Structure 1
Amino acid sequence: MQVDLAIDAMGGDSGPRTNVAGAILALAADSQLKVTLVGDKPLLTSLLSQHHLTHEFANRISLLPSRDSIQMDEVPTSALRSKKQSSMHLATQLVAEQRCHACVSAGNTGALMLIGRHYLGMQPGIERPAISSAIPTRKGHSYVLDLGANVDCQAEHLLQFAIMGSAMVKAVDGLENPRVGLLNVGREAIKGNSQVKLAAHLIEQSAGLNYIGYLEGDEIFKGDVDLVVCDGFVGNVALKTSEGLASFLSEQIQATFTKTLYRRLVSLMARPVLKQLKEEMDPVHYNGGSLLGLKGCVVKSHGNADARGFSFAILRAAKEARQQLPARLLEDLQRLCPS
C-alpha cells in the first residue's frame, strides 16, 4: 500500500538538514512511500539538490511552504494559538484533511500534542493522548506507554493507556493477545500508590486485556510483557535513564578496549560480537513515539535524532498508516473502554 506522509521538516534540534536526509533514507528503504516536506521551501529545495536525486526518486517528494516554525522551548499553548502557519501546524492539517496518511515531527512535544488534538480530535472515551515507543528486550522488543505526555494520571487514564497500547501492539506487531504489565515499585498487591492499585483492579477486570500483573523496573527489559503501562513521569524517567545507561556502557566498553595494545588486539577479535550487540541495542532503531488517542496517525521523533534515527520514525509512521492504527484503536476502545 502506497502511503504519503507529512513531514514537519523544520522541527527538532538539528532542523531541516537532518530531516531531509532522514526522509531520503526512509524513501530509499520503502518504495511505496511518498513524503510531503513542510517548511522553508527555498531552503528545502537547496538541501534536496545536494542529494542529486534521480527524477523518479524526486517525484516521490512534495514540498509545502510554511512561513513559520515552532521552537523547541516554545510554550505549547502559545505555539497552538500564534503559529498557525508553522510547519507543524500545516503538516498536521494535511492529515486532518486526509491529504496525507500520517504526520512525523521531531519538534516540540507539548506543541505537537496540542496541535494534534486541535486538528485531529480525540478518540471517543479518551481524555488524553499518550506517547508509546518500542524498547529492546532479551526477547525482541516491548512497548512502554506513557513516555511523557501525562505526568499526572488517574487510574482511569492508565486503563485507557492499556487498552490503546494493546490495540497498537495487535495492529503493528500482529500479536493476538499482547501481554500487559503495570509498572510499579513491587509485584505484591499491597505495593504502589492508590491510583496504581486502582488501575491494576480496572485493567484486571477488563476482559479483553491480557493483564499479567505488576512489573518492577528491573523487569522492563526481560521481555516477559509486550506492553508496559505507566504514567508519563515514570515512563519518561525510565526511558531517559536507560538511554543514559546504554550510552555510558558504550563509552566505557570503548575506553576499556583502547587502554593498552593488548586490549586493542582483543577488541579486534571481539569487534563482530560488539557490532552485533550495538546494532541490537542501538536506540536509533526504536526512534519514533506514537501519539495514541488521536483520530489520526502522528509520530514523534526524538528531537536530537540524526538522519538515520529520523528515518526510523518515518518508517514507523508508514507502518502505522498501513495498519490503519486509529481505526483499530477505535474498535478496541468501543469494545473495552467504559463509557
Structure 2
Amino acid sequence: MSGNRPPLTVLLAAPRGFCAGVDRAIQIVERALERFGAPVYVRHEIVHNRHVVERLEALGAVFVEELDQCPDDRPVVFSAHGVPKQVPEEAARRNLIYVDATCPLVSKVHVEAQRLHANGREIVLIGHAGHPEVVGTMGQLPDGAIALIETVEDAMQFAPQDASRLAFVTQTTLSVDDTSAIVAALQARFPQIEAPHKEDICYATTNRQSAVKALAPNCDIVFVIGAPNSSNSVRLVEVAKRAGAQRAQLISSAEDVDWDMIGPIGTVGITAGASAPEDLVEGLIAAFRERYDVDQKDIRVTDEDVIFKLPRVVA
C-alpha cells in the first residue's frame, strides 16, 4: 500500500476507444483543413464526442446540422454515421467540394440495402429511431422502402407485405445480444427472411462489448468513457450491467466522476466507446492513481489491425 491510499485493481478493457472508421473520419477533417484551409464545414458531429468536436473546432472546423448552413465556397465533410442520399445529391447540385467520411462499414449496409431493394426485397432495419446512422441508411431508399424495428416487441408485431420477400439489415453499433434476440424473433416468425452476407454490427462494436463482458463480472463499478448520444458507448454500459458489474456508468471524462458517491471499491473496470480518444482514458486512470494505490491489468480479448483508406480528395 502506498502511503494511506487504499489499494485498487483497475481492469482496462482492450480493445477500447477509437475504431478505424472514427480514426479515418477525424483524419479526413484534419486533412481537409490542411488542404483547403479554415473553415471547413462538417455536417453533423463528425463522431459523437464533444472532446473530439471541440479539438477540431479549434483547428477551424465548423459543425452544422444541415447543408443549407454551409456556404457555396467552402468544403463540407459528411460525418462518419452516413447521410441520406439527397445530401450528396444536393451538394453536387450546388457544386460544393464535399468529402464523405461515412464509415466504410456503414457504407456496406447502404450498399446491402440498395441491393436488396433492387432485388424486390422488403427491408427491415434493426436500429434506433433518430440515430444519424439509421436516418442515413433509411435515406438511401425511397420513403417507406425500409421498416424500422427497435425491439423484440416490434419484431413480434411487424406485419410485412410479403413474408416471402423479406430481408433485414442492422445499425452497426447495436448490442450484439439485443440484436441476436430481435433477429431470432424475426427468423422464428419469417423463416425465409434474408440475412446480410456478413453481419452488419461492426467488428469494433463486437470487440468492445466482448472486452467489457470479460471484465464486468469482477468489477464493483465499470466506467465507460463516451458521449450520451454515442450509441456504441451507451450499449457498453448496458452490456457491463448484464455481464455482472455491480454498477456501470457512462462518463465523458474523469471530471464527471463523483468521488464521494463511489464508496468502498476494490476493482474498477474502464473502457471507452469507439469515438472516445485515449487521452480521456489516461486522464481517468491518472485520477484514480491520485486517490488509490492502483494495480492496473489489461483485459484483452483480441487485437485490431483494421485501417481504412482515406478518400482521394484528402489522401
TM-score by length of 2: 0.30
Taking structure 1 as the reference length, the TM-score comes to: 0.29
